[in-house]
Structure 1
Amino acid sequence: MPYDLLSGVRVVEASMYAFAPSAGAVLADWGADVIKVVPPGTLDPMNGNPIAGLPDREVGVAFMWEITNRGKRCVGVDQRTPDGQAVLATLVRSADVFITNLLPDARRRFRIDVDDLAAVRPGLVYARASGHGPRGPERDAGGFDHTDFWARTGMAQAASQVSDEFVPQPGPALGDLASGAFLAGGIAAALFRRERTGKGAVVDVSLLSSGLWMFSPGVVASQLYDIDAIPRNRHTALPNPFVAAYQTRDHRLVYLSGIQTEKHVVEFFQAVDRADVLTDPRFATAAARAANAPACIAVLDEIFAGQGLAYWAELLGRLATPWSLVQTAREAATDPQSRANSFVTTVKKESGEYPLVASPAQFDDTPPTLSPAPGHGEHTEDVLLEHGYTWDDILRLKESGAVL
């Protein structure tokens, strides 16, 4: 079972792709009853294999759909038709939250804009996922995370400073999933206020606002210091030799995140039998190491290249120096710490078991339990029956194409 924090809260979600659906997935993780509304004849682009570059084989899991829609129920409703609009209004009438990523023109045409649904359900929490925000010259335009979250906010330019070419967003839906979590948090805050005051809310999160928040140190510093960006440096030009990645003899990267005291520096060089470095006036103090950072990095390069990863994992594990292996996604999925905390967990479905990453928040010292994503329109009949439709009503709606 999922958590019970939002038990009794009903969410209607009319959205596709990853941003808005991931907000619904987080709410489902927290115990909300999330009803996803999909167009009957059109599969969500995530309900397949939309990711380029993967091996050409069938794994039996539409993993992007599972990530963004686990724990939900799904109904097929054609919102272009009057009957479909009436069905959606009926669903919203019993809902606490409505989530959408539809653009303003579509919301108006489908009669699901804020005023439309507030008239149907006073006190509704209405959540909008957008590319650029609800105001300004681009308020009516769509967006994607690799443009608005990554490229537009300064993140891509910063990452590309240390490359010979533009660095694309590191993975699919990176900005979508972050923004979806922010939207889920905003919805939870709005529900809390409604519990106290009875007042509904309009909650807006955009890919652009999320990216700016994530990259806010660079954005703020650019304005204060009149610079384009906080400078980033290649390995040999890093200002702090102990905030860097070093390659081991077996070609793995070990990342040090900073030795904060002279005691830690002494402990490190003594542990690797290189106390002689501490007597070199170029490296004897923090100021000296900073002034001679390239030379210190060269020494550390040599030291780390002399031993394999197993050696370094054992040695660094004994020291106070914060460090990490630079892991692959495969290694992150089976990281003992991730598994011990159920950050990566297993979901069971008729077709078998498969991994999913849990949303980050955990409650009451209890690991989360995730359930599979629904099939396309899988719960249409059950949900309509719950909302007072008869079988005759459902058959008529099916025949007209208003529902799946």
Structure 2
Amino acid sequence: MKALEGIRVLDLGRVLAAPLAAQMLGDLGADVIKIERPGVGDDSRAYGPPFLETPDDGPDPAAFYLSCNRNKRSVTLDHSKPEGQKLLRRLVAESDVLIENFRPGVLAKYGLDYAPLAAVNPGLVYCSITGFGQDGPYAGRPGYDGVFQAMSGMMSVSGLPDGVPGAGPMKVGVSMIDILTGLYAGNAILAALHHRDAGAGAGAGARVGQHIDLSLLDCGLASLSHYAQSYLVSGQVPQRRGNGGYGGIPSQSFRCADHDIFLVAATDRQFAALCRALHRPGLPADPRFATVPARIAHRGELLAILDAVFLTRPAAAWIADLEAADVPVSPVNTLPDALANPQLAHRAMRVRAGAGAAGDGGLDVLRNPIRFSATPIESYAAPPALGGDTADVLTDLLGLSPSEIAGLHDAKVI
């Protein structure tokens, strides 16, 4: 049995944050039905190159789409048509969760916002993921990950410090706020399902769902974590430190003779071990570097010394010595390097998903990193072809006949 077996999710999300949350639930065993526009589908299907070449006659899906839509079934349905709205309400009646990321008010025009759907299914957990939330002066604005990285302050603490070449705020390479919001959404949905199934706040046996309002901007600010808390405690604006950390020193990358490495020696014990490995055993006795607060206060002086030392030898030599000294260290890997890492290979983080949009040849994907002892994640179905499951879902869940399905297709409802 899978962890979320028996839970059905309607995924009306597009692009990244909402589909990622739905994919997480699908990995955990939920039956995820992705609702897409007929003939077009999720916008991210076209977010390429690169595209995956498939044997069928339809458009090849973009790698972007493939990254967040595995373990789902695809149903094409036009919710702007009354017949499509009726079908969607019938699917809601058979589901536990609905995830959407339309701007506030868009689905309300069609009677598909939370209140009317909760009337159809009181146990529905309805998760709305928007840029700015359901209310407030910015609620109606559009936005994407980079905008929220800028607005939340994330960019202000990323990048090289002022006064060095290339200084300035820097966007995190991946769409970090989208990804974090998807993870927040997964947590929120699971909590709401538990609340519903525990009957909290309702009569005996009642199953009452709720509306979840998630904002990418809120999640971006929340993700600043100790950076934000440091500001709230001290009133001092966090400064950019490039590849340096914001805790003990050193905690950053260093250029070796041939390659960059990243190490952390934030505690007094680790710093002493680092200095022995560098053949600089006297550094911990220097009053400037003797304690964590002292090293932070004299960051620039210490880093100048370490920078000069690391340049004298190749990365592999330093890594061998640092690992022997039990100092946390790694080469700064490219993605091919990371996938070839023996620990990640041992953990089988690269797996093969079969069929779906990949056709019979399958598709390499990243394994879900959650490992259960009793309900392991073992199913990896490739992201679905556009509308590939429409007939099966409408037949199996709603009991529609082939002639009814053909009529809906002719009317361009599905």
Cα deviation, 1:242-285, whole Å, max 9, x if unaligned, reads: 223211111x2211222412x44443333333435567676566
- Structure 2 contact 267–292 (Cα < 8 Å) conserved: no
CA distance in 2, matches of 1:302, 1:378: 59
1:383 to 387, 393, 396: 393
2:265 to 250, 255, 258: 258
- Structure 2 contact 156–240 (Cα < 8 Å) conserved: no
CA distance in 2, matches of 1:237, 1:353: 40
Q: Which residue of 2 aligns with 1:22?
A: 20
- Structure 1 contact 145–175 (Cα < 8 Å) conserved: yes
Q: Which residue of 2 aligns with 1:157?
A: 156
- Structure 1 contact 339–345 (Cα < 8 Å) conserved: no
Moved more, 331-340 or 196-205: 331-340
Report how many residues are paired: 393
Q: CA deviation at 1:28?
A: 0.1
The 3 A distance-change label for structure 1 pair 222 and 90 is same
Cα deviation, 1:322-372, whole Å, max 9, x if unaligned, reads: 222222222223322223223343323435343322344321174654220
Q: Which residue of 2 aligns with 1:325?
A: 331
- Structure 1 contact 266–275 (Cα < 8 Å) conserved: yes
1:294 to 279, 295, 300: 300
The 3 A distance-change label for structure 1 pair 158 and 289 is closer
Q: Which residue of 2 aligns with 1:119?
A: 119
Task: Provide the aligned C-alpha RMSD in A.
Answer: 2.8
Q: Which residue of 1 aligns with 2:253?
A: 245
Moved more, 110-119 or 25-34: 110-119
Identity percentage of aligned residues: 28
Which amino acid in structure 1 is aligned with residue 255 of structure 2? Q
- Structure 1 contact 183–204 (Cα < 8 Å) conserved: no
- Structure 2 contact 89–117 (Cα < 8 Å) conserved: yes
The 3 A distance-change label for structure 1 pair 180 and 294 is closer
Task: Determine helix, strand or coil for the equivalent of 1:355.
Answer: strand
Moved more, 231-240 or 57-66: 231-240
Q: Which residue of 2 aligns with 1:144?
A: 144
Q: CA deviation at 1:377?
A: 0.7
- Structure 2 contact 349–366 (Cα < 8 Å) conserved: yes
CA distance in 2, matches of 1:217, 1:140: 30
CA distance in 2, matches of 1:104, 1:288: 50
Q: CA deviation at 1:129?
A: 0.7
What pairs with 1:168-317 in structure 2 (closer than 5 Å)? 168-171=171-174, 173-197=175-199, 198-227=207-236, 229-233=237-241, 241-250=249-258, 252-261=259-268, 263-275=269-281, 277=283, 289=295, 292-317=298-323
- Structure 2 contact 253–260 (Cα < 8 Å) conserved: yes
CA distance in 1, matches of 2:209, 2:284: 63
CA distance in 1, matches of 2:401, 2:243: 67
- Structure 2 contact 2–377 (Cα < 8 Å) conserved: no
The TM-score normalised by the length of structure 2 is 0.86
Q: Which residue of 1 aligns with 2:33?
A: 35
- Structure 1 contact 268–319 (Cα < 8 Å) conserved: yes
The TM-score normalised by the length of structure 1 is 0.88
Task: Determine helix, strand or coil for the equivalent of 2:385.
Answer: coil
Task: Determine helix, strand or coil for the equivalent of 1:273.
Answer: coil
The 3 A distance-change label for structure 1 pair 253 and 383 is same
Q: Which residue of 2 aligns with 1:84?
A: 84
Moved more, 353-362 or 35-44: 353-362
Cα deviation, 1:170-218, whole Å, max 9, x if unaligned, reads: 12x3221221111011111111111110121111221112111111333
Task: Determine helix, strand or coil for the equivalent of 1:256.
Answer: strand
CA distance in 2, matches of 1:100, 1:93: 16
Q: CA deviation at 1:223?
A: 3.6
Unaligned ranges ≥5, structure 2:
55-59, 200-206
The 3 A distance-change label for structure 1 pair 297 and 26 is same
CA distance in 2, matches of 1:166, 1:100: 31
CA distance in 2, matches of 1:234, 1:185: 31
The 3 A distance-change label for structure 1 pair 49 and 58 is farther
CA distance in 2, matches of 1:89, 1:286: 59
- Structure 2 contact 73–388 (Cα < 8 Å) conserved: yes
